[in-house]
Amino acid sequence: MTGRFATVAMTAMTAVLLGSCGGGGSGAAETLPAVEIASLSTGATMQLSDIDGPAVVNLWATWCAPCRAEIPDFEAVHQERGDEVRFVGINIGESADQALEFIDEVGATYDQFSDATGDVATELRATSMPTTVVIDADGAITLRKRGPLDRGALNDAIDEALADR
């Protein structure tokens, strides 16, 4: 009976894991979710899923020390490669005033948005800050990285997203 129980348990666990990872289904690539975000500069809203790739989407918060360290590298790569890939920053769960003050301090010039409700973080399964998602020209997620990315790793992720062009 123990062998049969183990087989049933392993089969059930495999089904749960495949279902949660998108495996075993249609094989469709994961894309950005349809969650509303608001521009920090204008207040205009849009759906995250409307961002055309290739793009780098970076989730951050003002209280996040690794975010403060990472954003200048993102800005440098944005300055070097902004004609190849769109950069989008999304502040999670804070006021626009807090977020704008922080962005001024760290010197980011790429598009910045707000997700005051935290829905983006929930939908992208961002369990820590920063979290970065890279999408290719078709909108498929090619990288989801929890924790900071340095300039080299960011460039490598962009290169991967651009490889299929």
Kindly report, residue by residue over 39-74, the tens digit of the pLDDT. Answer: 999 999 999 999 999 999 999 999 999 999 999 999
Lowest-confidence region among 8-12, 29-33, 59-63, 72-76:
8-12
Sequence-ordered list of residues with C-beta below 8 angstroms from that of 96, at least 6 positions apart, any chain: 38, 40, 43, 114
The span from the CA of 140 to the CA of 37, in Å, is 19
The span from the CA of 41 to the CA of 44, in Å, is 8
Percent of the chain predicted with pLDDT > 70:
82
Structure tokens at 120: 């983006």
Is the pTM value of this prediction over 0.85? Answer: no
- Please write the tens of the pLDDT for every residue from 81-125: 999 999 999 999 999 999 999 999 999 999 999 998 999 999 999
Residue 28's pLDDT band (boundaries 50, 70, 90)?
Answer: low
Q: What is the pLDDT of residue 27?
A: 57
Q: Which CATH class is domain 31-162?
A: alpha beta
Q: What is the pLDDT of residue 165?
A: 54
Q: What is the pLDDT of residue 15?
A: 33
Ordered DSSP codes for 98-118: HHHHHHHHHT--SEEEEETT-
* Domains of the chain by residue range: 1-28, 31-162
